[in-house]
Structure 1
Amino acid sequence: MSEFRFSPNPNRAHLVKWQPWSPAAFTKAQEEDKPVLLSISAVWCYWCHVMDDDTYSDPEVQDLLNEHFVTIRVDNDHRPDINARYNVGGWPTTAFLTGHGGLIGGATYLPPEQLISMITEFAEAYKNDRPTLYTQARDLLNTRKDHAQRFVASSQLEESMTDRVSRIVVGSYDATNGGFGSEPKFPNPSILRFLNHQYRTTGEDFFASMLIKTLDSLSDGQVHDSSDGGFFRHCAQADWTQPQYEKMLEDNLRLAREFLDASILLDRPKYRKTAKQTFDYLLEQLYDPVVPGFRGSQGAHSDYFSLSPDQRTADARPESDPSCYASNNGLAVTVLLDAAWKLGDLSLQTKALQTLETLDSAARSGSFSHVYSEQGPSDVPAFFTDW
């Protein structure tokens, strides 16, 4: 597996002198007295591809970065810990750091002219006004700490918690289009799960109404790939149009589970069919029998997904991420075993048990990792969420 992962389109982003995240990269920055530009990218991310194809392939950008910065490239899915610490609002993240790793600021996608302006200004400030930047980094760290502290879980679960969550959910509900919030619109399977639970436990019809409206909108909207199966990550518009075409393993597992459970709770065969189509997609396009396990995502490719079903060909289908992630494969085992029982589908049980054996054998042998591929486990250590 390549150390760095770039857009699948022809590009010259590799001409930036990328370093992996390591103590050596920061030692280099300190010895050369340079700031760090950290790029956090994802193989499924459309705008990450654009930034590779256009911005990081621009010769002026390459020259400025190679002269004035130590550049570090991180894959979001491989290193969720680094993403959690440094992401500045989405992907790609373009973060400016001190030589000791302090976050000073950043942005998401930047076209070449904007990045040239930012790196020129930042390099000048790092050279001539470094105390101000270090103060800015300290203030930003304190702000993030204060923000995180507000979300520390209480030692006791308040009895009113479900009522509070219900009010938030109802307040964000889009009665016109289904779903929650405004654009960009995400399916939010965790909210669907909450609605299912609330209807089962309270019998209140408005929970069922929100669930039905949202599931109908998802299955009938452009966020659902009715041709190949599966759901795209989100839509640009509130009415579930203009989808962003990447498909995520975790999202599709959770959505398949919610459609299947709702089909039983509400006696709606249509939802069962949607769930079955989504499981079929996962087995046909994301399951890797060599690992064995489920690949993490399928990349965005508007040229392919905008075609009608009869125009699509298998050889033009976007590649899936060859990496399998322990946390999401653990989720796959749980969801597929449950679905195998509810659907009476032994193929789901077989794939779940094969995936479980991959994880279990790695754990027993001491090679348990966050990332797997056909070449075996990587050197990325397992995180708490993987166990």
Structure 2
Amino acid sequence: MDQFAAETKVEWREWGPAAFEAAREAGKPILLALTVPWSPECREMDRKTYAEPRIAANVNDGFVPVRVDGDRHPEVRERYIMGGFPSTVFLTPEGTVLTGATYLGPDGFRGILDSVRETWETEGEAAGSVPRSLQTDAPPAGEVTARIEEAMVEQLLAAYDEEYGGWGTDVKFPLPRTVEFALVRARDQATRTLEAIQTHLRDTDDGGFYRYANGRTWSDARTERLLDENAALVRAFAHGYRYTGEEAYRETAERAIEYLTTKLWVDTSGDTSGAFAGSQAGDDTYHRLDASDRASADPPRVDETVFADRNGMAIDALATYAAYTDDERARRYAERARETIAETLVENGAATHYRTDEAVGPTGLLLDQARVLQGLTTSWQVLGEGGPARAIADWAIEHLQTESGAFRDGPADGPGLCSRSQYPLDATVELADALLDLAALADDERYREAAHGAIAAFAGASDRMGVEVAHYAATAARLRSPAVLRVGPRAGSDLHRAALRLADHETVVVPDAGGDEAVLFEDGERVGTAEEPAGLEAVLTGDA
């Protein structure tokens, strides 16, 4: 149970079969509170709603209350979230959904308790429903064609905010993967969006990036700072620096890396071992202080849980930045985190979401497999070591990929709706992208075939995809026109370092490939070779 449960008067139970069995035996519905440690609204609901004695007594008497940390249990989060945190969800004893909401103050909560109790008494289990994402066996498959990339470029043009940058005209999310897609295909959109993020979402005093902005003008930022979102933006700014040479982008990435390696760094055992913490909470009062006042104030709480998926993204981001800059700090911390995750959270190819002295998280979730694999394949390209990359890919393909090519989000063996599989697009694309890297690095076509199956599994819906999943279109393009730069000398050689800086970010760089030259392959065909960095630049630009 999370430490904030003690602030309430509700008699919370842990998520698990015992809670559902208790609900069946008592004939009561379940109240599921989905919270996260970084959300101010979660803390406010604990203090104002769940700590109110009469409400707590009502909950304890008429319901089986269950509390779940959504960061530690993403399999529960993705099945029951009501659009944000906290999520207040009422379930039947079989785990189907009666109703739900996000934040509820005391008055709103009393009203929904009465409504749920009445529904349960009159309709019982029949009142429960299953979310649409769990009602289908597989996504709509199709052919991977050039039209997927073309349609996404059209989406970029249609959704771009010409006045303020970014995509959409309401809430502004940074969308780092969309920025990366645009850097190659609509660079002005990408650079203007990076500049807006620099101006409005960067914490210039403490470092790191805020989550998103509530206003079209990038105003009213949400001040939580999550590891995965910060890592994704480090990577996007690093790519922005690679394509433009803009020093401000490099400095922004560097400052964010400083935040990650200080405020979010957790030493796990000794001076050489460690990894990154999951998040730092939001606190508008703190973030309105100037630098001098912050120095004497208590900073927002850091959740020091080390998550496999978020650390995979951090390893990927720091290795990418090191590739473009030769930055020793980024390289060193990427290596340390990679070793810690591989040694403590990966066993026989299966990644465990987190592990503490008190609890062990779920194992074999698609998002963990995908993001750890991406961290390993990127660090393989940059540092020359793959670690357990092949074992992680093999486990995911064997245990999570279906005959249709789609990937399930994890083992379907939990209580409630966790016994049903989901087929998440985002995690599938991340895995497919990493599998394409691995196919080149390991020289094994099986991984490319698995990636093709994953992308084709969603191709029937590609014409309905928005800019927030531009990563899908980028991966589809890589499938159709793969580019691989095989560098004979070892990682760290002059030719290898030049290859990392000169190749575009959708090209796989394979170090230590044998020989003294670098060879560029496009669509499987050898198109050019070089033995020196100057010659390599000519090959990559088509001037050789």
For the criterion TM > 0.5, the same-fold answer is yes
1:376/1:351 CA distance change after superposition, 3 Å: farther
| Equivalent of 1:110 in 95, 104, 107 | 104
Aligned positions of 1:149-188 closer than 5 A: 152=139, 154=141, 156-188=143-175
| Equivalent of 1:214 in 179, 190, 193 | 193
In 1, Cα distance between the equivalents of 2:84 and 2:176?
20
In structure 2, runs of 5+ residues without a counterpart are: 370-544
Counterpart check, 1:243 vs 2:238: no
Aligned positions of 1:306-321 closer than 5 A: 306-313=288-295, 316-321=298-303
In structure 1, runs of 5+ residues without a counterpart are: 199-206
What whole-Å deviation, never above 9, does each CA across 1:303-353 have from its counterpart, x for those lacking one? Answer: 211111222117611121111110111122222122123222212112111
1:44/1:142 CA distance change after superposition, 3 Å: closer
Residue 376 of structure 1, CA deviation: 8.3
**Hey, what does 1:204 align to over in structure 2?**
none
In 2, Cα distance between the equivalents of 1:377 and 1:67?
28
In 1, Cα distance between the equivalents of 2:315 and 2:359?
18
Residue 378 of structure 1, CA deviation: 2.1
**Hey, what does 2:513 align to over in structure 1?**
none
Q: Identical aligned pairs, as a percentage?
A: 27
Residue 214 of structure 1, CA deviation: 0.9
Aligned positions of 1:121-200 closer than 5 A: 121-127=115-121, 129-131=122-124, 134-137=125-128, 140-141=129-130, 143-145=132-134, 152=139, 154=141, 156-198=143-185
What whole-Å deviation, never above 9, does each CA across 1:124-160 have from its counterpart, x for those lacking one? Answer: 2212x125xx3342xx4274445x67x8252531320
In 2, Cα distance between the equivalents of 1:143 and 1:312?
45
In 2, Cα distance between the equivalents of 1:142 and 1:306?
39
Residues 297 and 320 in structure 1, CA contact (< 8 A), matched pair in contact too: yes
In 2, Cα distance between the equivalents of 1:111 and 1:194?
41
* Letter matched to residue 61 of structure 2: E
Partner SS for 1:120: helix
**Hey, what does 2:207 align to over in structure 1?**
229
Partner SS for 1:156: coil
Residues 326 and 369 in structure 1, CA contact (< 8 A), matched pair in contact too: yes
Partner SS for 1:72: strand
TM-score by length of 1: 0.88
Runs of 4+ with >3 A deviation: 142-146, 364-368
| Equivalent of 1:25 in 19, 30, 42 | 19
- Worse-matched range after superposition: 356-365 or 277-286: 356-365
* Letter matched to residue 57 of structure 1: A
1:364/1:29 CA distance change after superposition, 3 Å: closer
In 1, Cα distance between the equivalents of 2:265 and 2:143?
40
What whole-Å deviation, never above 9, does each CA across 1:171-202 have from its counterpart, x for those lacking one? Answer: 2211111111233221111111110232xxxx
**Hey, what does 1:277 align to over in structure 2?**
255
**Hey, what does 2:82 align to over in structure 1?**
88
Residues 29 and 120 in structure 2, CA contact (< 8 A), matched pair in contact too: yes
In 2, Cα distance between the equivalents of 1:307 and 1:142?
42
Aligned residues: 364
* Letter matched to residue 119 of structure 2: A
Residue 259 of structure 1, CA deviation: 0.9
CA RMSD of aligned residues (A): 2.1
* Letter matched to residue 299 of structure 1: A
**Hey, what does 1:76 align to over in structure 2?**
70
Partner SS for 1:180: coil
Partner SS for 1:333: helix
Partner SS for 2:216: coil
**Hey, what does 1:203 align to over in structure 2?**
none
Structure showing greater Rg:
2
- Worse-matched range after superposition: 21-30 or 117-126: 117-126
**Hey, what does 1:202 align to over in structure 2?**
none
Residues 173 and 213 in structure 2, CA contact (< 8 A), matched pair in contact too: yes
What whole-Å deviation, never above 9, does each CA across 1:199-236 have from its counterpart, x for those lacking one? Answer: xxxxxxxx121112111111112x21111111101112
1:166/1:314 CA distance change after superposition, 3 Å: farther
Partner SS for 2:22: helix
Residues 230 and 282 in structure 1, CA contact (< 8 A), matched pair in contact too: yes
In 2, Cα distance between the equivalents of 1:92 and 1:142?
18
| Equivalent of 1:372 in 355, 366, 375 | 355
* Letter matched to residue 180 of structure 1: W
In 1, Cα distance between the equivalents of 2:113 and 2:74?
25
Residues 184 and 238 in structure 1, CA contact (< 8 A), matched pair in contact too: yes
TM-score by length of 2: 0.64
Counterpart check, 1:50 vs 2:44: yes
